[in-house]
C-alpha cells in the first residue's frame, strides 16, 4: 500500500481522497524540522505540506524514494524546487484556490484601517471613549496602490474599484489592467499617490526586504500599508518607525519574517503595541471554503501524477497532460533535456517488439519528460535498459 504524509492540519478532504485511492495516510497538525521530517518520511511516497515545513535538499537527499510533494498553499518557496526536479520529485501547489479568501481579507483590512477600527477598538477596551471622526475616511474616492498584479492583486483591484476606489498597480511584468485600473509608471510614483498600499509579490529570494525604509519613506503622508504576501518582503522595523512618527496612519500584517511552527506557540513582533494596526497569524487563505478547495485541488494533482504521470500545473517538471492509459502499462521517463532520448526510449521498447499505443514528450529548461503507453508490459531487463539511458532521472511504470 502506498503511503502519504500530510502535515500542518491540511483539510480532511485531502486525506479522505488519498485513502479512497488506496493510500495509507498519516496526518499531523504541526510542522516538522528537517530531522523530524526525514524520520517521518520513511516509506512515504507522497508528502503534503503548507507553509511552515521546509522540504530542503537535505530532506530530499535523505529520502530519494519520495515521488511528489503537494504544497497546500499558493507559495512553493518552502520546497527546494530545483533539487526536487533534478531528482525526479514532482511539486504541485494551489495557485488559485484561496485567492478569494485573501482578497476579501485585504479589502476588509483597508476599510478597517481607513476607519481606524483597530485604534477605536483598542481605546474602548482600555476604557477610553474616543468618539471622533478624526483620521477616519471612506474608501470611496481614495487611491489604492497594488504592488504585484497577479491572481490576487488583480482581484483586489476589481473589488476595490467596485467600492469606488481609484486603482494603481505596479508589476515588473506586463499585465493587462482590469476595469479602470491604471499601471503606475514606477514604484515610487505609485507610493506617492496611494492612500493605501498592498503587497502581493511572490516568494522569490530576490524579494527579501523588497519593501524597506526607502519605500516606506516614499509613501503618502497618512497612508495605510497592508502585507499579506510573504513575511520576508517587508522590513517591520522600518514600518514601526513610520507608524511611530505618524507618517503612516495604520498597517495590516498577516505574514512575518519568522513564524511559529504550530498554533499555540509563543510569538512576538515589534508591531504588537502599535495603535492602528491589524495583526493576524498568517490566515489570509485560511477560510473553510479555501482550505477545502485547496484540499481538493492539490490531492487530485498528486493522484493524477501518481496514477497517470500527469504533470499539469507542476511547478518544477515539464507540463504534460495525457488521457487515461491506452495500453497494458504506462511508462513515465523523466530525464535531462538531451537530444535523442525519445529515440533511445523507443529503441529499447522496439527491441522487445513492444507496440506503442500512445506517447507524448515535453521539455522545459534542463528537464525532459516522456510518457509512453505500451501494449504489453516491458520485461525487467527492458526497464533496466530504460533506467540506464544517458540522462535518466527517474522511470516509473504506472
pLDDT of residue 96: 87
**In Å, what is the CA distance from 59 to each residue of 35, 67, 81, 252, 371?**
8, 13, 12, 35, 27
Q: Where are the domains of the chain?
A: 1-98+287-317, 99-279, 324-398
Q: Could you please state the CATH topology (level 3) that the domain comprising 324-398 is classified under.
A: Alpha-Beta Plaits (3.30.70)
- The mean pLDDT value of the chain amounts to 95
pTM over 0.75: yes
Q: Which of 259, 300, 364, 394 is catalytic?
A: 259
Give the pLDDT mean for 108-127. Answer: 95
- Inform me whether the pLDDT recorded for 148 exceeds 90: yes
- Inform me whether the pLDDT recorded for 206 exceeds 90: no
Give the pLDDT mean for 331-349. Answer: 96
Question: Which segment of 253-262, 334-343, 381-390 scores lowest on mean pLDDT?
Answer: 253-262
Walk across the sheet containing 277-279 and list its strands.
Answer: 182-183, 166-170, 143-147, 196-199, 224-227, 250-253, 277-279
- Residue 5 in contact with residue 238, Cβ under 8 Å? no
Strand, coil or helix: 232? coil
Strands 143-147 and 367-374, by their bridges, are unpaired
pLDDT of residue 203: 79
Q: Which of 21, 122, 123, 282 is catalytic?
A: 282
pLDDT of residue 241: 97
Q: How confident is the model at residue 262 (pLDDT cuts 50, 70, 90)?
A: confident
| Percentage of the chain modeled with pLDDT above 90 | 90
pLDDT of residue 368: 97
Q: Which CATH superfamily is domain 1-98+287-317 in?
A: NAD(P)-binding Rossmann-like Domain (3.40.50.720)
- Inform me whether the pLDDT recorded for 265 exceeds 90: no
CA 397/CA 288 separation, integer angstroms: 37
**In Å, what is the CA distance from 288 to each residue of 5, 41, 74, 99?**
21, 28, 16, 13
Is 282 one of the catalytic residues? yes
pLDDT of residue 326: 84
**Topology agreement, domain 99-279 and domain 324-398:** no
- Inform me whether the pLDDT recorded for 75 exceeds 90: no
pLDDT of residue 374: 96
pLDDT of residue 137: 96
Exposed/middle/buried for 382, CB within 10 Å: 0-12, 13-18, 19+? middle
Give the pLDDT mean for 321-328. Answer: 89
pLDDT of residue 200: 96
Q: How confident is the model at residue 344 (pLDDT cuts 50, 70, 90)?
A: very high
Per-residue HEC secondary structure of 39-108 comes to HHCCCCCEEEECCCCCECHHHHHHCCCCCEEEECCCCCCCECHHHHHHCCCEEECCCCCCHHHHHHHHHH
Give the pLDDT mean for 186-199. Answer: 98
pLDDT of residue 205: 80
pLDDT of residue 54: 95
Q: Which of 116, 120, 230, 335 is catalytic?
A: 230
Is 8 one of the catalytic residues? no
Q: Which CATH superfamily is domain 99-279 in?
A: NAD(P)-binding Rossmann-like Domain (3.40.50.720)
Give the pLDDT mean for 332-348. Answer: 96
Amino acid at each position: 500500500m502506498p503511503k502519504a504524509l500530510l502535515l500542518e492540519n491540511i483539510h480532511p478532504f485531502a486525506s479522505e481522497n488519498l485513502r479512497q485511492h488506496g493510500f495509507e495516510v498519516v496526518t499531523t497538525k504541526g510542522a516538522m524540522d528537517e530531522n523530524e521530517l526525514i524520520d517521518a518520511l520513511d516509506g512515504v511516497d507522497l508528502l503534503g505540506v503548507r507553509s511552515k515545513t521546509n522540504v530542503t535538499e537535505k530532506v530530499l537527499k535523505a529520502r530519494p524514494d519520495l515521488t511528489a510533494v503537494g504544497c497546500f498553499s499558493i507559495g512553493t518557496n518552502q520546497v527546494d524546487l530545483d533539487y526536487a526536479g533534478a531528482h525526479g520529485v514532482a511539486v504541485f501547489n494551489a495557485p488559485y484556490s484561496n485567492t478569494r479568501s485573501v482578497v476579501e481579507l485585504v479589502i476588509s483590512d483597508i476599510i478597517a484601517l481607513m476607519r481606524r477600527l483597530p485604534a477605536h477598538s483598542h481605546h474602548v477596551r482600555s476604557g477610553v471613549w474616543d468618539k471622533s471622526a478624526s483620521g477616519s475616511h471612506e474608501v470611496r474616492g481614495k487611491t489604492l496602490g497594488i504592488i504585484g498584479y497577479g491572481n490576487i492583486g488583480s482581484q483586489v483591484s476589481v473589488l476595490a474599484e467596485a467600492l469606488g476606489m481609484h486603482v494603481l498597480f505596479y508589476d515588473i511584468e506586463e499585465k493587462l489592467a482590469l476595469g479602470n485600473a491604471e499601471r503606475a509608471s514606477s514604484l515610487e510614483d505609485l507610493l506617492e499617490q496611494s492612500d493605501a498600499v498592498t503587497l502581493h509579490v511572490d516568494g522569490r529570494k530576490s524579494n527579501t526586504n523588497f519593501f524597506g525604509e526607502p519605500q516606506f519613506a516614499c509613501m503618502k503622508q497618512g497612508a495605510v500599508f497592508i502585507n499579506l504576501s510573504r513575511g520576508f518582503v517587508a522590513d517591520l522595523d522600518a514600518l514601526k518607525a513610520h507608524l511611530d512618527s505618524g507618517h503612516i496612519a495604520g498597517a495590516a500584517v498577516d505574514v512575518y519574517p519568522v513564524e511559529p511552527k504550530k498554533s499555540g506557540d509563543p510569538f512576538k513582533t515589534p508591531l504588537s503595541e502599535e495603535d492602528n494596526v491589524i495583526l493576524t497569524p498568517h490566515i489570509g487563505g485560511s477560510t473553510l471554503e479555501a482550505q477545502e478547495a485547496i484540499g481538493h485541488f492539490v490531492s487530485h494533482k498528486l493522484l493524477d501524477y501518481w496514477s497517470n504521470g500527469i504533470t499539469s500545473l507542476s511547478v518544477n517538471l515539464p507540463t504534460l497532460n495525457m488521457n487515461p492509459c491506452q495500453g497494458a502499462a504506462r511508462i513515465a521517463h523523466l530525464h535531462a533535456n538531451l537530444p535523442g532520448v525519445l529515440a533511445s526510449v523507443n529503441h529499447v521498447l522496439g527491441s522487445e517488439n513492444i507496440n506503442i499505443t500512445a506517447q507524448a514528450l515535453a521539455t522545459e529548461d534542463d528537464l525532459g519528460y516522456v510518457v509512453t503507453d505500451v501494449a504489453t508490459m516491458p520485461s525487467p531487463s527492458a526497464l533496466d535498459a530504460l533506467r540506464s539511458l544517458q540522462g535518466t532521472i527517474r522511470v516509473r511504470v504506472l
